[in-house]
Structure 1
Amino acid sequence: MIFEHMNKLPLVLALAAWTASLALSSAAVFEQLGVFVGNPNPANPAAQAGFDARYTTFIQSMGQEPRYTDVFVDYTQPIAAWPGNAGWGSGVMKGSAQANLIPVVSIGLADSSVYDHGKRNGDRATAMMNAIGDGQYDDVYNSIIEAFKKRGYTSMYFRIGWEMNGGWEPWYATGNAASAAAYVHAFQRVASLAHHAAGITIKTVWCPCFLQWNGVDPTSTYAGDDSVDVVGPDMYSPVWCAQPYDWTNHSPSPSIAAWAANPANREHYWDYPSGTQWKPTSGWGLPAALAFCKEHKKPFALSETGTGGDDKNKGPIDDDAFPAYLGKRLSAAVADGIAIEYIIIWNLNPSDGAWLFTDGKKPKAEIAWREFVKTMAEALATHGKS
């Protein structure tokens, strides 16, 4: 079997885990910690070495091992190819140092066939989501489940149609009411398949992202309490200024860059992405998501999170305020009775962002993430996990 040579942890990773266990002998562990450092790539030694290094340094930096990671089914492939892709993805994960982590599987609700020459066809996307909701692709989703079962997984998550309110995914659902309804229809069908799968426990995750622009309220895509197990949005540190109003001085900011340099302004954005001088608490941010969890009695998760701006209009590259903000908001949520399912921190630099912080180039962010883990472990130890 091609993955057999990866079954043993690299010596450096074993040493890191041993070091972490010593560090944790007198400290609480944040059991909900997750990480994404990219995909294992045993066919490419250089890429695999990078994967191992990012994972090893994350453990060393956080002082503990993670329990969760993201896994992606490649929706740019035709939907008929998704089971094969899931088989490959689950295989390389099972053959890597992350073999025992619980996978949060990102699974789409439309494929690239909904595009015409690079432009998304909304009617075609809505039709495909309705077809999924009608059960026409049940065999695809059941086969994805079987792919993970064959690798020995007995527990995982389905992050169904993630970031549906972002506008960049084929299953974009907040452009109009028809697309939102089709999305809900498809989500409910896939959730039912996941909940009725034999021999494996699958929890479903509803995963909007925090944006200041939404044609339709993100909650219009919520598929209902019976279909959703976890509210697990994506949230990163970069900010997009709708109107540069300084929330410290309560006056217009001289520039967007000056606005973004102020941690108080970034915190206000993270709370209220659409907030302006005239509508300060506008936008579906972290407080709204946590309130939604409490209303629906659902646990909260961050399916993706990371820090790294541009040192200009989007905030500092080495941003220590964001992890501190998350620690403050989420520890308060725990005290308020909201359960934390998982927090998956991204520690890599993909094409759409620079989230790597364990390479020595973001020392403030690295310290802040370590403090975040400590804060959450202490909050859960004090207030319980539910």
Structure 2
Amino acid sequence: MSHSIARRRMLGGMAGLAAMPFTSACGTTAGSDAPSPLDDALALPVLEDTSTSPTQGVFFGVFRENALTDVVSGAQADLRRKPAAVMWFTRFGSAFPQSQLQYLASQGMAAQVTWEPWGAHGEAITLAQIEAGLWDAYIDTWAQAAARLDLPFMLRFGHEFNGDWYPWCVVNNGSNGEAFARVYRRVVARFRAAGAHKVQHVWCFNNANQPAAAWNDPRFAYPGDDVVDWIGIDGYNFGTSQSWSRWTSFSDVFSGALATAQAISPRKPVVLAEMGCSETGGDKAAWIARMAADLARMPSVRAFTWFDIVKETSWALTSSDASWHAAIQALRQPHIRGNGTALLSVATPRA
């Protein structure tokens, strides 16, 4: 059995696919040594982006639920290219991730840290508590550690605030977007006061407002150009995997939210901070190929991070042979970038 076929079996099982042997979407039977387009793609050398110029292209990042060293090595092995960035989630009460930031910097990759105001045991933290200063001492530990470390990284605080699923969402805090903006400004101000000027602050909303009420427009929660380095947008094509969802093109997932971002601040770079596509209800391989083509025509989008796990549905790029092959091809397009140093030079934080 070839190495690539063995790897396909292993990752196929991780994604909850059918038991082996199975017939791949590329038309070969795993368990035989017959070559396929995916086998050929997996034999390609890992593509590395050596250009440190930040002015061109869109930078690829990835999120996986593995140890950071495994994410870095596994993404390169599976996707045959070195990502520009790796993203992970952490909550209030957690220690500043100094070793993770240093490790990624040593690999030439950017860190995208999603910082969620949950308590250490999952308890809700309200915007009013943060605004009242109850978390200032903790926030300062991160700010001071970031200042001492003196490495650039992207920090996404309180993402998807225009949804209804997190305690920091506007709907759960008096339906007042301005309250979120004030809290965001407070967090950034404490980092700046500590001298953590290399932190790049990502203000991130969901592509669809939930609830879809006028007061839940992200514009009301924008804290200002002076404290935002990146505008982030999260969006997914759930396909028909959920009772309420339908197959949606990449363009349709993000076009409305991109128009909102442009209206809020037309010169801010945009990161699609979480994105993914289901296998259910359409052609995921074609969706990935179309995504790569569409990104070349979206100059405000300078980075995207694929949510590369199985959660509500199989978001993973390796969820089928066809999708896996399409992902390898898409990530080798010349406008898709993989240099973390260049990514961290797109936005220059203020002192």
- Whether the aligned pair in 2 keeps the contact of 1:183 and 1:221 (CA below 8 Å) is yes
Asked if structure 2 preserves the Cα contact closer than 8 Å seen for 1:209 and 1:235, the reply is yes
- Counterpart of 1:323 (choices 288, 292, 298) is 288
Contact 1:348 1:356 in 2 (8 A): yes
State the 1:363 CA deviation. 2.1
**Counterpart in 1 of 2:158?**
161
Label 1:62 to 1:98 Cα distance change in 2 as closer, same or farther (>3 A).
farther
Q: Is 2:225 the counterpart of 1:217?
A: no
Structure 1 pair 131–67 and aligned structure 2 pair: CA distance change class (3 A): same
Using the TM superposition, give the Cα deviation of residue 93 of structure 1 relative to its aligned residue in structure 2, in angstroms: 6.3
- The answer to whether the Cα contact below 8 Å between 1:237 and 1:307 also exists between their aligned partners in 2 is yes
TM-score, with length taken from structure 2: 0.67
> In the aligned structure 1, how far is the partner of 2:315 from the partner of 2:57?
21
Shift of the alpha carbon at 1:188?
0.9
The answer to whether 1:190 aligns with 2:158 is no
Aligned to 2:111: 103
- Is the Cα–Cα contact under 8 Å of residues 195 and 203 in structure 1 kept in the other structure? no
- Stretch moving more, 161-170 or 54-63: 54-63
1:235 counterpart residue number: 235
Decide which structure has greater helix share.
1
1:164–1:208 Cα contact (<8 Å) kept: yes
**Offset from partner CA, 1:112-141 (integer Å, 9 cap, x none):** 8996xxxx7xxxx6xx41342344422211
Match in the other structure for 2:308: 347
1:20 is aligned to 46
Query: 1:99 deviation in Å?
Result: 5.8
Structure 2 CA distance for aligned equivalents of residues 112 and 86 of structure 1: 11
Equivalent residues of 2:288, 2:327 under 8 A apart: yes
Alignment of 1:304-315 (within 5 A): 304-309=274-279, 311=280, 315=281
2:114 partner amino acid? S
For the pair 1:291 / 2:252, whether they are aligned, the reply is: no
Give the deviation of 1:201 after TM superposition: 0.3
Aligned-partner Cα distance in 1 for 2:200–2:81: 25
Q: Which residue of 1 aligns with 2:273?
A: 303
Residue by residue, what CA displacement relative to the aligned partner does 1:30-54 show, whole Å, maximum 9, x if unpaired?
Answer: 672211122428xxxxxxxxx72x5
What is the CA-CA distance between 1:24 and the residue it aligns to? Answer: 6.6
Which residue of 2 is the match for residue 69 of structure 1? 86
- Amino acid of the residue matched to residue 344 of structure 1? T
Distance of 2:198 and 2:337 partners within structure 1: 27
Check 1:72–1:149 CA distance in 2 against 1; reply closer, same or farther (3 A cut).
Answer: farther
Matched with 1:32 is 59
User: CA 1:378/1:160 → structure 2, altered by over 3 Å: closer, same or farther?
Assistant: closer
Distance change in 2, residues 1:66/1:344 (3 Å): same
Secondary structure of the 2:95 match is: helix
2:284 aligns to what SS in structure 1?
Answer: coil
Q: Structure 1: which amino acid aligns with 2:273?
A: S
Task: Tell me the secondary structure at the aligned position of residue 103 of structure 1.
Answer: strand
> Aligned with 2:227: secondary structure?
coil
- Secondary structure of residue in 1 paired with 2:272: strand
1:332 partner SS? coil
Counterpart in 1 of 2:95?
A: 86
- For residues 146 and 69 of structure 1, the distance between their equivalents in structure 2, rounded to whole angstroms, comes to 23
Q: Relative to 1, partners in 2 of residues 1:331 and 1:266: Cα closer, same or farther, differing over 3 Å? A: closer
Cα 1:164–1:112 change in 2 (3 A) is farther
2:169 is aligned to: 172
Deviations 1:329-371 (A, max 9, x none): 321122xxx261x32222222x44422233xx42222233334
Secondary structure in 2 aligned to 1:213?
A: coil
Equivalence for 2:326: 368
CA distance in 1, matches of 2:261, 2:188: 22
Deviations 1:266-315 (A, max 9, x none): 4574256xxxxxxxxxxxx344245346x431001011122224x2xxx3
Measured at CA, do residues 31 and 299 of structure 1 come closer, stay the same or move farther in structure 2, by a change above 3 Å?
A: closer
Tell me what 1:48 maps to: none
Check 1:379–1:141 CA distance in 2 against 1; reply closer, same or farther (3 A cut): closer
Q: Per the alignment, do residues 232 and 378 of structure 1 end up closer, same or farther by CA in structure 2, a change over 3 Å counting?
A: closer
In terms of mean alpha carbon deviation, does 211-220 or 228-237 score higher? 211-220
Equivalent pair of 2:251/2:291 in contact (CA under 8 Å) = no
1:142 counterpart (127, 136, 140): 140
Q: Secondary structure, in 3 states, of the residue corresponding to 1:374? A: coil
Measured on the aligned residues, the alpha-carbon RMSD in Å equals 4.0
SS for the counterpart of 2:176 is helix
CA contact (8 A) 1:172 1:179 kept: no
CA distance in structure 2 between the aligned counterparts of 1:198 and 1:134, rounded to whole angstroms: 22
Gaps of 5+ in 2: 1-41, 339-345
The unaligned stretches of length 5 or more in structure 1 are 1-15, 42-50, 76-81, 243-254, 273-284
Change (3 A) 1:153 1:344: farther
Assess if the C-alpha contact under 8 Å between 1:290 and 1:333 holds in 2. Answer: no
Residue 247 of structure 1 is matched in structure 2 by none
Partner of 1:32: helix, strand, or coil?
Answer: strand
